[in-house]
Amino acid sequence: VGGVFSALYVICVIQTLGWSPALMGMTVAVGGIGSLLGTAISARLVRTVGVGKAILLGFLISALSSVFVPLASGPLWLKMASLMVAQLVGDSMAVAALIPAASLRQSVIPREMLGRAASVFFVGAGASSAVGALPGGFWGSAVGPRRARFRAGGGPVARRTGGWRWR
């Protein structure tokens, strides 16, 4: 589902909102700042709520922030703010969750298997994005990029929180 969302981001911003690639790039750059913020808040988040809940909350908040993208409307400053919030919150919380998730994997997987395990996660993430991008393009063409992105936003929430229980 993340591949659906990613595939439609450029179309949604360039075509639907009518932005230049440079303007879109400015909003995406905010995601880089968010990633740096995520590294700064990750340890505190883990200390505050624990490893499992930090992973769950980070991915959940990251996925929920994606709703700001298809909701971007109104004057340019409001559209910019909406996309920047999505990038800043989404990327910071994703990174804040990825750090303890990687640490958890490294603590439970035998040392001699860490490289193989990391490659499985890397390939799995890349493959799922690629597999999602193709139907995402078709879906965006059929219902429009804004509607497709809004509906695709619920997928990351379900995927990231599936199987997790609060303890």
pLDDT mean for each 10 residues of the chain (167 residues): 69 84 91 96 97 96 88 90 94 96 92 89 77 71 70 53 39
The residue among 91, 98, 105 whose CA lies nearest residue 32 is 91
Cα 78 to Cα 67: distance, rounded to the nearest angstrom: 14
- Please work out, in degrees rounded to the nearest 5, the angle formed at the alpha carbon of residue 112 by the alpha carbons of 51 and 107: 10
Task: Give the pLDDT score at 131.
Answer: 74
C-alpha torsion sign, points 37, 136, 12, 67: negative
Residue 63 in 3-state DSSP?
helix
Task: Give the pLDDT score at 152.
Answer: 63
Task: Give the pLDDT score at 99.
Answer: 96
Q: Which residues contact 23 (CB under 8 A, 6 or more apart)?
A: 80
Output DSSP code: residue 79.
H
HSE (CB half, 13 Å, CA atoms) of 123? 6
Task: Give the pLDDT score at 78.
Answer: 93
Please check whether residue 6 is in contact with residue 66, taking contact to mean a CB–CB distance below 8 angstroms: no
* First-last CA distance in the chain: 27
